[in-house]
C-alpha cells in the first residue's frame, strides 16, 4: 500500500521552553497497516521490560532491534540496530518507516492493553535537541485514549505522525476495550528532521550558552575560578573560553 502525505490543519499548541508534542504533516492510510498488524502472531509480542512503569498490559514487538533480534525490545544507546524478521513481513510498515529521511535506531510496535496505564515518567535524552526524535504513528486507537504530557492531555490521532518529546513527563491511559497500538520510530535527528519539525511549528530548546546546561550566568565565574585554580592546560583553555562568553552576557 503506498503511503501518502498531506498537510493537516492542526490547533496551535502552547509552547514552553521547547515543543512537548507536535503533529507532523504525514498521514498514512491504515487498512494495509492494520492488516499487517493483525497478521502478527500474539507470541511475537514481548512484555515491556520496565514493569514498574505501567499497570495491566504493555507490550512491544520489535521491527528494528539490536542485532535484529525478535526477542529484544530494549533501545540500547549506540547499539547495532537492524531490521527484524517481523519487519520483512510488513512491507506497508516498512514504507512508513522509510518515509522519514533519517537513520533509525529502535522501531517497535507498542501495545497498551485495555484498561492499562503507562505511569508518569521521563526518558532522558528523548528530545529532538538531544539527537533522538521519537515519532509515533497510531495504528489502532480510539478518541478516549490519551497521553498526558507535562500535565496536558492529548489524543494522538490515528494514521498521523506525531513527535513526542519523551524527556517531558508523560503518561498514557487506555480506557477502551481493545489494545491501543502505536508504531514508534526512534529517529536520529538530522537536518531533514529539523526542517520538518521547524516547518510544523516546533520550537527547539535553546542551546546552553556556555555549552553545558550545568553552567549558567549565576555560577560561571565560580567555574572559571575553579578551573584556573586547578592549573591544568585544558581547564585553563576552557576558563578562557567561558570568560569570553561571559563577557558577551554583560
Look up residue 239 and give its DSSP letter.
Answer: H
User: Given pLDDT bands bounded at 50, 70 and 90, which one contains residue 94?
Assistant: very high
Q: Are residues 49 and 139 in the same domain?
A: yes
The single-letter DSSP state of residue 4 is B
Same domain for 126 and 223?
A: no
In terms of domains, do 37 and 92 share one? yes
Determine, yes or no, domain membership for 98.
yes
H or E element, residue 113: none
Within-domain flag for 15: no
> 116 in the Ramachandran plot: left (φ > 0), alpha (ψ -120 to 50) or beta?
beta
Same structural domain, 142 and 185:
yes
Per-residue pLDDT, 250: 66
**Contact by Cβ (8 Å): 57, 113:** yes
Inter-CA distances, 137 with 42, 55, 72, 110, 133, Å: 20, 22, 21, 10, 13
Count of domains for the chain: 2
- Could you give the CA distance from residue 8 to residue 23 in angstroms, rounded to a whole number? 9
Same domain, 37 and 157: yes
Task: With respect to residue 132, please indicate whether it lies within any of the assigned structural domains.
Answer: yes
C-alpha cell at 154: 492529548
Inform me whether the pLDDT recorded for 15 exceeds 60: no
The pLDDT of residue 209 is 65
Check whether residue 161 and residue 241 sit in a common domain: no
Say whether both 183 and 238 belong to one domain: no
Clarify whether residues 193 and 216 are in a common domain.
Answer: no
* First vs last C-alpha separation in the chain: 58
Looking at residue 206, its pLDDT comes to 63
Domain around 31: 21-199
Amino acid at each position: 500500500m503506498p503511503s501518502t502525505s498531506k498537510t493537516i490543519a492542526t490547533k496551535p499548541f502552547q509552547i514552553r521552553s521547547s515543543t512537548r508534542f507536535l503533529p507532523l504533516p504525514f498521514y498514512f492510510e491504515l487498512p494495509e497497516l492494520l492488516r499487517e498488524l493483525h497478521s502478527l502472531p500474539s507470541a511475537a509480542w514481548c512484555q515491556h521490560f520496565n514493569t514498574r512503569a505501567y499497570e495491566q498490559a504493555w507490550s512491544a514487538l520489535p521491527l528494528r532491534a539490536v542485532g535484529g533480534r525478535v526477542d529484544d525490545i530494549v533501545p540500547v544507546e549506540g547499539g547495532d540496530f537492524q531490521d527484524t524478521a517481523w519487519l520483512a513481513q510488513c512491507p506497508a510498515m516498512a514504507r512508513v518507516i522509510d518515509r522519514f529521511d533519517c537513520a533509525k535506531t529502535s522501531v517497535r510496535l507498542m501495545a497498551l492493553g485495555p484498561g492499562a496505564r503507562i505511569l508518569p515518567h521521563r526518558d532522558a535524552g528523548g528530545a529532538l535537541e538531544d539527537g533522538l526524535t521519537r515519532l509515533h504513528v497510531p495504528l489502532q486507537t480510539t478518541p478516549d485514549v490519551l497521553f498526558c504530557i507535562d500535565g496536558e492531555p492529548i489524543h494522538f490521532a490515528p494514521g498521523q505522525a506525531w513527535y513526542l518529546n519523551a524527556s517531558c513527563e508523560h503518561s498514557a491511559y487506555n480506557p477502551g476495550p481493545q489494545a491501543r497500538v502505536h508504531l514508534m520510530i526512534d529517529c536520529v535527528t538530522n537536518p531533514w528532521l529539523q526542517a520538518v519539525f521547524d516547518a510544523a511549528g516546533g520550537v527547539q530548546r535553546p542551546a546552553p550558552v556556555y555549552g553545558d546546561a550545568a553552567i549558567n550566568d549565576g555560577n560561571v565565574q565560580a567555574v572559571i575560578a575553579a578551573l584556573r585554580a586547578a592549573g591544568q592546560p585544558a581547564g585553563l583553555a576552557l576558563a578562557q573560553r567561558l570568560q569570553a562568553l561571559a563577557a558577551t552576557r554583560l
